Structure 1
Amino acid sequence: MTQSTCFHCGNNCDKTVINFAHKTFCCNGCKTVYEFFSSHDLSDYYDLQSAPGAIPKEIEGKYDYLDNPDIAEKLIEFSDQNTQIITLYIPHIHCSSCIWILENLHKLKPGISSSQVNFPKKTVRITLNSEKTTLKEVVILMNSIGYEPYISLDDYTSTPKNNNHQLLYKLGIAGFAFGNVMFLSFPEYFEVSEYWLEKYKHLFRWLMFAFSLPVVFYAAQEYFISAYKGLRSKLLNIDIPIALGILVLFIRSSVEIIFDLGTGFFDSLTGLVFFLLVGKFFQQKTYSFLSFERDYKSYFPIAVTRVSKKNDKEESIQVYHIKKGDRLLIRNEELIPVDGILIEGDAQIDYSFVTGESDLVAKQSGDKLFAGGKQLNGAILIEALKSVEQSYLTQLWSNDVFSKNKTSSFTNLTDTISKYFTIIILCIAFIATSYWLIADSSKAMNVFTAVLIIACPCALALARPFALGNMLRIFGKNRFYLKNADVIEQLSKVNTLIFDKTGTITSNKKNKIEYHGKPLSKKEEALLKSTLRASNHPLSRSLYQILEDHDILTLDEYQEYLGKGIEARSAQDSIKIGSQNFIKNSNGTNALNTTVHVNANDQYKGHYVFYNQYRKGVKELFETLSKNYRLSILSGDNEGEKRHLEQLLPKNTNLLFNQKPDDKLEYIKSLQNHDANVVMIGDGLNDAGALAQSDVGIAVSENVNVFSPACDAILDASVFQNINHYLTISKRTMGIIKSSFILSFFYNSIGLYFAVTGQLSPVIAAILMPLSSISVVIYVTVLTNILSKKVSIKTNERSY
Structure 2
Amino acid sequence: MSKLVDIKASQCYHCGSDIIKKDEVFFDEKQFCCNGCKTVYEIFSQNDLTCYYDFQASPGATPQDIKGKFDFLANESIVDTLLEFNEDKTHIVSLYIPHIHCSSCIWILENLQKLQSGIGASQVNFPEKKVRITYNPQKTSLQSIVEMLCSIGYEPYISLDNFDEGKKKVDRSLIYKIGVAFFCFGNIMLLSFPEYFEVNEFWIEQYRDFFRWLIFALSLPAFIYSASGYYVAAWKSIKQGMLNIEVPIALGIVVMFIRSTVDIIFNYGQGFFDSMCGLIFFMLLGKLFQQKTYDFLSFERDYKSYFPIAITKVLPNGTEVSVQVYDIKKGDRLLIRNQELIPVDGIMISENATIDYSFVTGEAVPISKKSGDKIFAGGKQLGKVIEIEVLFSVSNSYLTQLWSNDVFQKRVEQQHKSITDKISRYFTPALLGLSVVSFLYWVFIDVATAFNVFTAILIVACPCALALTAPFTLGNVLRIMGNRKLYLKNALVIEQLAKVDTIVFDKTGTITTNKKTSITYEGEALNDFELKLLFNTLRGSNHPLSRRLYEFISVHEKIAPIHFEETLGKGIEAEFTEGKVKLGSSQFLKHLSENTHKKTKVHVEINGVYKGSYVFNNQYRKGLETLFEKLAAHYNLVVLSGDNDGERKILEKMLPANTSLVFNQKPEQKLDFIKQLQDHGNNVMMIGDGLNDAGALAQSNVGISISENVNVFSPACDGILDASQFEKISFFLAYSKNAMLTIYMSFILSLVYNIVGLAYAVSGNLLPIVAAIIMPLSTITIVSFVTLMSNFFARRKYH
Matches within 5 A, 1:682-761: 682-761=688-767
Distance 2:728 2:778 in 1: 36
Residues 650 and 356 of structure 1: CA distance in aligned 2, closer, same or farther (over 3 Å): same
Give me the CA root mean square deviation: 2.2
Matches within 5 A, 1:428-467: 428-467=434-473
Which residue in 1 is equivalent to 2:311?
304
Residues 158 and 303 of structure 1: CA distance in aligned 2, closer, same or farther (over 3 Å): farther
Where 2:710 maps in the other structure, the secondary structure is coil
Where 1:508 maps in the other structure, the secondary structure is strand
Distance 1:275 1:776 in 2: 17
Distance 1:407 1:572 in 2: 52
User: In the alignment, which of 269, 274, 288 is matched to residue 281 of structure 2?
Assistant: 274
Q: Which moved more, 1:471-480 or 1:393-402?
A: 393-402
1:83 and 2:77 correspond? no
Where 1:610 maps in the other structure, the secondary structure is strand
Residues 461 and 587 of structure 1: CA distance in aligned 2, closer, same or farther (over 3 Å): closer
User: In the alignment, which of 221, 229, 233 is matched to residue 226 of structure 1?
Assistant: 233
Which residue in 2 is equivalent to 1:96?
103
Distance 1:189 1:331 in 2: 78
Residues 432 and 664 of structure 1: CA distance in aligned 2, closer, same or farther (over 3 Å): farther
Matches within 5 A, 1:235-274: 235-258=242-265, 261-274=268-281
Assess if the C-alpha contact under 8 Å between 2:602 and 2:615 holds in 1: yes
Which residue in 1 is equivalent to 2:65?
58
Which residue identity does 1:492 align to in structure 2?
A: A
Residues 199 and 36 of structure 1: CA distance in aligned 2, closer, same or farther (over 3 Å): farther
1:125 and 2:132 correspond? yes
- How far the C-alpha of 1:29 sits from its partner, in A, is 1.6
Which residue identity does 2:277 align to in structure 1?
A: T
Assess if the C-alpha contact under 8 Å between 2:92 and 2:132 holds in 1: yes
Q: Which moved more, 1:174-183 or 1:216-225?
A: 216-225
Assess if the C-alpha contact under 8 Å between 1:699 and 1:713 holds in 2: yes
- How far the C-alpha of 1:546 sits from its partner, in A, is 0.6
- How far the C-alpha of 1:466 sits from its partner, in A, is 2.3
Distance 2:552 2:602 in 1: 14
1:641 and 2:647 correspond? yes
Which residue identity does 2:405 align to in structure 1?
A: N
- How far the C-alpha of 1:233 sits from its partner, in A, is 4.5
Which residue in 1 is equivalent to 2:295?
288
Distance 1:296 1:660 in 2: 37
Q: Which moved more, 1:462-471 or 1:353-362?
A: 462-471
Which residue in 2 is equivalent to 1:797?
none
Residues 71 and 105 of structure 1: CA distance in aligned 2, closer, same or farther (over 3 Å): same
Q: Which moved more, 1:550-559 or 1:13-22?
A: 13-22
Q: Which moved more, 1:601-610 or 1:138-147?
A: 601-610
- How far the C-alpha of 1:414 sits from its partner, in A, is 3.5
Assess if the C-alpha contact under 8 Å between 2:13 and 2:58 holds in 1: yes
Residues 421 and 619 of structure 1: CA distance in aligned 2, closer, same or farther (over 3 Å): farther
Residues 369 and 410 of structure 1: CA distance in aligned 2, closer, same or farther (over 3 Å): farther
Assess if the C-alpha contact under 8 Å between 2:304 and 2:478 holds in 1: no
Which residue in 1 is equivalent to 2:4?
none
Assess if the C-alpha contact under 8 Å between 2:466 and 2:750 holds in 1: yes
Q: Which moved more, 1:417-426 or 1:12-21?
A: 417-426
Assess if the C-alpha contact under 8 Å between 1:499 and 1:682 holds in 2: yes
Distance 1:408 1:567 in 2: 43
Which residue in 1 is equivalent to 2:797?
791
1:333 and 2:334 correspond? no
Distance 2:530 2:592 in 1: 17
Distance 2:746 2:416 in 1: 19
Which residue identity does 1:389 align to in structure 2?
A: S
Distance 1:397 1:456 in 2: 36
Which residue in 1 is equivalent to 2:515?
509
- How far the C-alpha of 1:220 sits from its partner, in A, is 1.9
Residues 655 and 244 of structure 1: CA distance in aligned 2, closer, same or farther (over 3 Å): farther
1:324 and 2:333 correspond? no
- How far the C-alpha of 1:140 sits from its partner, in A, is 0.8
Q: Percent identity?
A: 58
Assess if the C-alpha contact under 8 Å between 1:296 and 1:394 holds in 2: no
Which residue in 2 is equivalent to 1:148?
155
- How far the C-alpha of 1:136 sits from its partner, in A, is 0.8
What whole-Å deviation, never above 9, does each CA across 1:637-684 have from its counterpart, x for those lacking one?
111121111111111112111222222222222222333222111111
Where 2:515 maps in the other structure, the secondary structure is coil
- How far the C-alpha of 1:582 sits from its partner, in A, is 1.0
User: In the alignment, which of 594, 598, 616 is matched to residue 592 of structure 1?
Assistant: 598
What whole-Å deviation, never above 9, does each CA across 1:716-735 have from its counterpart, x for those lacking one?
00110001111111222222
User: In the alignment, which of 550, 554, 563 is matched to residue 544 of structure 1?
Assistant: 550
Which residue in 2 is equivalent to 1:170?
177
- How far the C-alpha of 1:515 sits from its partner, in A, is 1.5
Distance 2:309 2:796 in 1: 29
Where 1:769 maps in the other structure, the secondary structure is helix
Residues 484 and 573 of structure 1: CA distance in aligned 2, closer, same or farther (over 3 Å): same
What whole-Å deviation, never above 9, does each CA across 1:395-446 have from its counterpart, x for those lacking one?
212333321x446665545445444443443343333233223443332221
Distance 2:444 2:351 in 1: 86
Assess if the C-alpha contact under 8 Å between 1:333 and 1:375 holds in 2: yes
Distance 1:74 1:30 in 2: 33
What whole-Å deviation, never above 9, does each CA across 1:339-363 have from its counterpart, x for those lacking one?
0111115411111111111111111
What whole-Å deviation, never above 9, does each CA across 1:724-756 have from its counterpart, x for those lacking one?
111111222222232222222233322222111
* TM-score, L = length of structure 1: 0.94
Distance 1:416 1:563 in 2: 47
Structure 2 unmatched runs, 5+: 1-7
Q: Which moved more, 1:376-385 or 1:19-28?
A: 19-28
Q: How many residues are paired up?
A: 790
Which residue in 2 is equivalent to 1:19?
26
Which residue identity does 2:481 align to in structure 1?
A: F
Which residue in 1 is equivalent to 2:5?
none
Where 2:784 maps in the other structure, the secondary structure is helix
Which residue identity does 2:259 align to in structure 1?
A: R
Where 2:633 maps in the other structure, the secondary structure is coil
Assess if the C-alpha contact under 8 Å between 2:473 and 2:739 holds in 1: yes
1:663 and 2:669 correspond? yes
1:653 and 2:659 correspond? yes
Residues 367 and 314 of structure 1: CA distance in aligned 2, closer, same or farther (over 3 Å): same
- How far the C-alpha of 1:231 sits from its partner, in A, is 4.2
Q: Which moved more, 1:453-462 or 1:234-243?
A: 234-243
* TM-score, L = length of structure 2: 0.94
Which residue identity does 1:568 align to in structure 2?
A: A
Structure 1 unmatched runs, 5+: 794-800
Distance 1:595 1:159 in 2: 57
- How far the C-alpha of 1:379 sits from its partner, in A, is 1.1
Which residue in 2 is equivalent to 1:46?
53
Assess if the C-alpha contact under 8 Å between 1:433 and 1:448 holds in 2: yes
1:478 and 2:489 correspond? no
Which residue in 1 is equivalent to 2:525?
519
- How far the C-alpha of 1:206 sits from its partner, in A, is 3.6
Distance 2:459 2:676 in 1: 49
User: In the alignment, which of 98, 108, 114 is matched to residue 107 of structure 1?
Assistant: 114
- How far the C-alpha of 1:198 sits from its partner, in A, is 5.4
Assess if the C-alpha contact under 8 Å between 2:305 and 2:400 holds in 1: no
Which residue identity does 1:45 align to in structure 2?
A: Y
Residues 642 and 33 of structure 1: CA distance in aligned 2, closer, same or farther (over 3 Å): same
Where 2:680 maps in the other structure, the secondary structure is coil
Q: Which moved more, 1:102-111 or 1:194-203?
A: 194-203
Assess if the C-alpha contact under 8 Å between 2:158 and 2:166 holds in 1: no
- How far the C-alpha of 1:783 sits from its partner, in A, is 2.7
Residues 290 and 792 of structure 1: CA distance in aligned 2, closer, same or farther (over 3 Å): farther
1:213 and 2:220 correspond? yes
Which residue in 2 is equivalent to 1:612?
618
Which residue in 2 is equivalent to 1:798?
none
Matches within 5 A, 1:672-687: 672-687=678-693
